[in-house]
A and B are shown apart, each in its own frame.
Chain A
Amino acid sequence: MKVLVTVKRVIDYNVKVRVKSDNSDVDLANVKMALNPFCEIAVEEAVRLKEAGTASEVVVVSIGPKACQEQIRTALALGADRGIQIETEEAPESLSVAKLLAKVIDEEKPELIIMGKQAIDSDNNQTGQMLAALLDMPQGTFASEVKVEDGKVSVTREVDGGLQTVALNLPAIVTTDLRLNEPRYASLPNIMKAKRKPLDVKTPADLGVEVKAHTKLLKVTPPAERQAGIKVGSVDELVEKLKNEAKVL
């Protein structure tokens, strides 16, 4: 079975985000970029399926400027077989991303598509679900366990208050949550090997998709600053303040 994984280049999760002084967006100049953590979990899951003999090939797709080839190479170093970059200038909106991916999937015909549940930059949590709708496929979002058996995939989902398990006909789309697995580190030999793995570049025009804006970003502002409060000297004083000043007890 062929598995397709999507990856997004985002700011490294350890970096403190700063808003530009003109409030037009966040400032990403000279900031360390990395593979989106949820996408990394998706790659790991696909590679494990291949190691278990369930998957025959793992194809990794990323959308963005040339720099996102770096994240494709990271995924290849983790064990994916080949990469596809869809070259776009800026980050297209989720719906356009879903439309581009739908075309790639029409060509590649994977049986399972594994994606991160959200990217830690835009925090939209929507591309996987949109893609599933466009392809009329079932979806298992926020997965903490994925089992492929008897032509179906069983997905345990992290839902508010617990876990839910659904069975999906293949082909299907799975989006990953944190508990699904712990991604490995790429070894140096695998990083070297990844440089020679095939990586195709396509454009939205090749795929016949018009990248369109459905929203307009009016401004980006820093969140309201929290003022540091006071230090209390004892537990007694803390309880007294919480009761009488903050009135939260």
Chain B
Amino acid sequence: MAILVIAEHDNSTLKGATLNAVTAATQMGGDLHVLVAGAGCGAAAEAAAQVAGVSKVLVADAAAYEHQLAENVSKLIAELGKDYSHVVSPATTTGKNVMPRVAALLDVAQVSDITAVESADTFQRPIYAGNAIATVQSLDAIKVITVRGTAFDAAAAEGGSAAVEAVDSVHDAGVSSFVGEEMAVSDRPELTAASVVISGGRGMGNGENFAMLEKVADKLGAAVGASRAAVDAGFVPNDMQVGQTGKIVAPELYIAVGISGAIQHLAGMKDSKIIVAINKDEEAPIFSVADYGLVADLFEAVPELEQKL
């Protein structure tokens, strides 16, 4: 049996999260196929065919799949998925939206957001926002899996030469439609995809002071985040929140500024590779997870850091 990996793409380019999912799928064993479902998505399919380890690329090119509407794409994936041992997708918002529908249509469970593959049917996944790791065995004939990208290396984007095959099946449920989208036009990377994140907490004092963090972020190509305390205090909007009920991040470098380190926050960032904490309270719990702690007044330390980068 083969494994079907669902590509994350925007019709013209293949998104990096696909490459992490390919690596996870490789560890499950079996022939690797990639499905590119979209409209005018030939370029993304060509890119998928180059990915090392992929033996076949299926392309479903139809207007109904243009915006990855879950109602339509899930029917396509469930139809194709019947012939596979595993159906694997990155745990992006697209994957999270579509894959549970696929699982229900196939009458199987979904194992969400896996961080390790132990065998073809056994996986590790974080629960309680990463405060515990569950090892789960799937008892279903078809395993529907979403993959946490930060837990797997990216497969090589080049070096493969998979056959590209068109899929004619078009499912248009006709119950939902795309109205529009508003993508952040920031030059900064997304929080969950950034390799460097700098976050501020209640210690920032107000929203204007986040400009200091933005200056550092611009030098490092970093995303800017915040603790729940900073969000609740109204300093910054909710979508910047890193933590158990916000975004879970695991960058190469995480810089926590004026953040005490509540459990809520630690749950969202403690898998970062290197953690730096800047806080004037040397007893702050954040220092117990930080690789490098600087006990200092952030209003002096942060501008100095920006200068010295």
- Map CB proximity to B onto A111-125 as digits: 1 under 8 Å, 0 otherwise: 000000000111111
Kindly provide the distance from the CB of A118 to the nearest chain B CB, expressed in whole angstroms. 9
> Helix, strand, loop or mixed for chain A's interface?
mixed
**B104 touches A (CB below 8 Å):** yes
Q: Which positions 217-241 of chain A face chain B at CB distance < 8 Å?
A: 217-223, 226, 228-232, 234-236, 238-239, 241
In whole angstroms, what is the CA distance A113 to B239 when docked?
Answer: 24
Kindly provide the distance from the CB of A151 to the nearest chain B CB, expressed in whole angstroms. 12
Would B100 and A129 count as touching, CB distance under 8 A?
A: yes
Kindly provide the distance from the CB of A242 to the nearest chain B CB, expressed in whole angstroms. 7
In whole angstroms, what is the CA distance A219 to B241 when docked?
Answer: 30
**B237 touches A (CB below 8 Å):** yes
- Map CB proximity to A onto B143-184 as digits: 1 under 8 Å, 0 otherwise: 000000000000000000000000000000101111111111
In whole angstroms, what is the CA distance A134 to B78 when docked?
Answer: 13
Would B177 and A167 count as touching, CB distance under 8 A?
A: yes
Q: What are 23 sample pairs from A and B whose C-beta atoms fall under 8 A apart?
A: A13-B245, A14-B263, A17-B128, A95-B108, A123-B127, A129-B101, A133-B105, A142-B93, A157-B97, A158-B239, A162-B183, A163-B182, A214-B108, A215-B138, A217-B136, A218-B135, A221-B132, A222-B132, A230-B292, A231-B295, A236-B308, A238-B294, A246-B291
User: Chain A interface: which of B29-37, B109-117, B200-208?
Assistant: B109-117
Count how many pairs of residues, one from A and one from B, have CB atoms less than 8 Å apart in the complex.
Answer: 253
Kindly provide the distance from the CB of B42 to the nearest chain A CB, expressed in whole angstroms. 23
Kindly provide the distance from the CB of A69 to the nearest chain B CB, expressed in whole angstroms. 23
**B83 touches A (CB below 8 Å):** no
Chain B residue nearest to A164 (CB atoms) is: B181
In whole angstroms, what is the CA distance A114 to B110 when docked?
Answer: 21
User: Chain A interface: which of B18-26, B43-51, B67-75?
Assistant: B67-75
For chain B, the bracket of interface size reads 35 or more
Q: Which of A94, A168, A242 contacts B100 (CB 8 A)?
A: A94
Would A95 and B109 count as touching, CB distance under 8 A?
A: yes
- Map CB proximity to A onto B128-141 as digits: 1 under 8 Å, 0 otherwise: 11111111111110
Chain B residue nearest to A226 (CB atoms) is: B289
Kindly provide the distance from the CB of A226 to the nearest chain B CB, expressed in whole angstroms. 5
Chain A residue nearest to B246 (CB atoms) is: A178
Would A239 and B112 count as touching, CB distance under 8 A?
A: no
- Map CB proximity to A onto B248-289 as digits: 1 under 8 Å, 0 otherwise: 000011000000000110000011011110000010000111
Would B111 and A215 count as touching, CB distance under 8 A?
A: yes
Which residues in B have their C-beta under 8 angstroms from that of A241?
292
Would A160 and B93 count as touching, CB distance under 8 A?
A: yes
Would A141 and B182 count as touching, CB distance under 8 A?
A: no
**B66 touches A (CB below 8 Å):** no
Would B305 and A238 count as touching, CB distance under 8 A?
A: yes
Kindly provide the distance from the CB of A152 to the nearest chain B CB, expressed in whole angstroms. 9
Which residue, B107, B276, B292, B294, has most C-beta atoms of chain A within 10 A?
A: B292
**A169 touches B (CB below 8 Å):** yes
**B40 touches A (CB below 8 Å):** no
Q: Which of A17, A138, A161 contacts B71 (CB 8 A)?
A: A138
Count of chain A residues near B, Cβ 8 A:
78
Which residues in A have their C-beta under 8 angstroms from that of B246?
178
Would A220 and B192 count as touching, CB distance under 8 A?
A: no
Residues of chain B having any CB pair with chain A under 8 Å: 67, 69-71, 74, 92-94, 96-105, 107-113, 122, 125-140, 173, 175-184, 190, 192-193, 196, 220, 237-239, 241, 244-246, 252-253, 263-264, 270-271, 273-276, 282, 287-296, 301, 304-305, 308-309
Kindly provide the distance from the CB of A17 to the nearest chain B CB, expressed in whole angstroms. 4
Would A179 and B133 count as touching, CB distance under 8 A?
A: no
Would A162 and B132 count as touching, CB distance under 8 A?
A: no
Would A37 and B139 count as touching, CB distance under 8 A?
A: no
In whole angstroms, what is the CA distance A153 to B244 when docked?
Answer: 29
Would A164 and B178 count as touching, CB distance under 8 A?
A: yes
Kindly provide the distance from the CB of B93 to the nearest chain A CB, expressed in whole angstroms. 4
Would B110 and A167 count as touching, CB distance under 8 A?
A: no
Which residues in B have their C-beta under 8 angstroms from that of A249?
220, 253, 309
Would A238 and B276 count as touching, CB distance under 8 A?
A: yes
In whole angstroms, what is the CA distance A219 to B301 when docked?
Answer: 44
Kindly provide the distance from the CB of A195 to the nearest chain B CB, expressed in whole angstroms. 29
Which residues in B have their C-beta under 8 angstroms from that of A214?
108-109, 138-140
Would B133 and A126 count as touching, CB distance under 8 A?
A: no
Which residues in A have their C-beta under 8 angstroms from that of B271?
223
Q: Say yes or no: A159-B135 contact (C-beta < 8 A), given A129-B100, A164-B181, A242-B292.
A: no
**A188 touches B (CB below 8 Å):** no
Kindly provide the distance from the CB of B249 to the nearest chain A CB, expressed in whole angstroms. 13
Kindly provide the distance from the CB of B73 to the nearest chain A CB, expressed in whole angstroms. 12
Q: Which of A94, A120, A122 contacts B244 (CB 8 A)?
A: A120
